[in-house]
Amino acid sequence: MPVVNKARLMQLYSSLRKRFGYLNWWPGETRDEIIIGAILTQNTSWKNVEKAIARLKENGLLELSRLSSAAIGRIEQSVRPSGFYRQKALRLKGLAAYITSNYKNLDGFFSSETGELRKELLSLDGIGNETADSIILYAAGKPVFVIDAYTKRIMERVYGIDKEMGYEELQKLFMSALGHDTRLFNDFHAQMVELGKNYCRKKPLCAECPARKLCNFARHLQIY
């Protein structure tokens, strides 16, 4: 496996920060909204999530306590723009009901040690690694690195990471190299999302990419 250490990762991060600036991500005004957005963003674009969040807000459902008691049809109608709306409505209601029935508030839910909180989230229906870690990092403010499709693609192209590397193995690579820095993890992940959306697409725009000088894929194409 290629050597990917802190120096190389920080070189990539610096090149992205220079292009995009500090991104102050995740886009959400409250912890409830961040949790809701983490589920809605499964298998869809953020533009569609924004439409669904706007509808939830219009319908007074942008709070976990409201979702837990709302009729499933109301939730489905609100989240329809995000796709897979029946599935997502059930997941939102299930998570909201779980938190509100087992904890007084989100402070109580998030009081667990990071590993225990992650196990608890993963035990719930429809919560996978990326969704759980997004909630932990962005809503709970605990240091865990989120791996998404953009991050995986970028690491494969820039550093030649094996395509078969699993979620937790790639996450361990970041966290063992970078330590446990919530603010860095937050912005680094946001930078990777921005790079993946705008340059490191399925059909990449290598000539304009801020990471091209570091990238094995661009070097192979002789794009510097």
Q: Provide the whole-model pTM.
A: 0.94
Q: Are residues 35 and 135 in the same domain?
A: yes
Domain, as residue range, for 131: 31-139
Indicate if 15 and 35 belong to the same structural domain.
no
One domain for residues 16 and 54: no
pLDDT in tens, 17-72: 999 999 988 888 899 999 999 999 999 989 999 999 999 999 999 999 999 999 99
132 & 155 share domain: no
Whether residues 12 and 39 share a domain: the answer is no
Residue 118: the pLDDT is: 98
Residues 134 and 151 in one domain: no
Residue indicated by tokens 């009901």: 97
pLDDT of residue 220: 82
- Under the banding of pLDDT at 50, 70 and 90, the label for residue 1 is low
Statement to judge: residues 151 and 68 lie in one domain: no
Kindly tell me if the per-residue pLDDT of 151 is higher than 60: yes
The structural domain count of the chain equals 2
Q: pLDDT digit string (tens) for 73-120? A: 999 999 999 999 999 999 999 999 999 999 989 999 999 999 999 999
Task: Name the residue among 153, 144, 162 with its Cα closest to residue 195.
Answer: 153
1 domain residue, yes or no: no
